[in-house]
Amino acid sequence: MVQNHGVPTQAEFHRAIANRGDHWLAACLRITRNADLAADAVQDALLSAWNKRHQFERTALLETWIHRIAINAALQLLRKAPSFAHDELDEELADTGRSPDAQRADQELDNDLASALQHLTEMERTCFVLKHMEQWRLSEIASELDTSINRIKQALFRAVKKLRVIMANRRSSNDY
């Protein structure tokens, strides 16, 4: 278990990676929409977290701290390479505890959402992912993106409005 004082150990980092590495990669993939950029973001985050492990405060979970660093790394990579080609978001793992029909419906919804997210501006998509998929607070998003909370609210409003229309159109076109 995590010690109450001192820097995280190598064993703690290994446990965090084993427990949450896939989650960090999925989060970075939702932000970057590119498997290579997402993998780079996670790698950068792990290197940064290891190099700054003495700054880790034991009031947080190590996994949460690294998750935040990974999200920041993904956003930083997007800023550096905004024209990088985006991959499809089809790297989800199958949930074997669900029926094939339920898995297929979930996959279709994931594909529809991934496709719909492509119609948003980078600001709208980033705000939507951080707020609704990563559960960040508005103040955290504003701070990370170096903008006002009102601008974040406006981007979220536009994103949700666009996604509702796009997803409704997809549902109606799938109804026969």
Rounded percentage of the chain residues whose pLDDT exceeds 90: 31
Of residues 35 and 84, more confidently modeled: 35
Are the CB atoms for 67 and 133 separated by under 8 Å? no
Q: How does residue 88 score in pLDDT terms, banded at 50, 70 and 90?
A: very low
Instruction: Give first-to-last CA distance, the chain, whole Å.
Output: 54
The reported pLDDT for the residue numbered 52 is 92
Indicate the pLDDT class of residue 109, thresholds 50, 70 and 90: confident
pLDDT band at residue 10 using 50, 70 and 90 as cut-offs: very high
DSSP per-residue letters across 108-142: HHHHHHHHHHTTS-HHHHHHHIIIIIS---HHHHH
Q: If pLDDT is split at 50, 70 and 90, which confidence band does 176 have? A: very low
Domains of the chain: residue spans and CATH: 10-80 (1.10.1740.10), 100-174 (1.10.10.10)
The whole-number pLDDT of residue 96 equals: 53
CB 7 within 8 A of CB 56: yes
Nearest residue to 86 via CA among 124, 145, 38, 155: 38
pLDDT averaged over every residue in the chain: 81
